[in-house]
Amino acid sequence: MKERKIAVIGDPGSVMIFKAIGLDVYYEEQGPMIEKRIHKLADKGYAVIYITEEAAQLVPEAIDYYTTATFPAIIPIPSAKGSLGLGMKRLKGNVEKAVGADILFKEG
């Protein structure tokens, strides 16, 4: 079975701690560089890419491109500055698609 790797993208203050647990960490804070990094990691077969919410806000098209792909799963995480709510918003959207928004918000 092929081993799948996990990467983390974001500002150094937010993601350097992930090095301590053995994840591949990439310090990127500018949109074009973040987008290039996502595509490179996808091409290299990464299974999961964690990305700070601040970084994710800069590259919504790149993240959307992989939304329906099996790999990589791109997961927004809070930065050292705190949460912007992007991860929860994305999760809510996925749940709505899975069960149907009309069921999720049905009155009664």
> How far, in Å, CA of 36 to CA of 44, rounded?
12
- Res. 107: pLDDT tops 90: no
Reported as a single tens digit per residue, the pLDDT across 4-61 is 799 999 999 999 999 999 999 999 999 999 999 999 999 999 999 999 999 999 999 9
The helix or strand, by DSSP H or E, that contains position 108, with its residue range, turns out to be none
**Counted domains in the chain:** 1
What is the domain-level CATH number for residue 92?
3.40.50.10580
Host domain of residue 49: 5-99
- What is the spatial distance between Cα 41 and Cα 79, in angstroms, rounded to a whole number? 20
Cβ atoms of 9 and 37 closer than 8 Å = yes
Question: Does residue 104 sit within a domain?
Answer: no
Give 102 or 79, the one with higher predicted confidence. 79
* Interatomic CA distance for residues 1 and 84, integer angstroms: 37
In a domain, 82, yes or no: yes
Residue 108 confidence (pLDDT) above 90: no
Instruction: Confirm whether 107 is domain-assigned.
Output: no
Task: With respect to residue 51, please indicate whether it lies within any of the assigned structural domains.
Answer: yes
Q: Is it the case that residue 93 has pLDDT exceeding 60?
A: no
**Which pLDDT belongs to residue 2?**
63
Residue 105 included in any domain: no
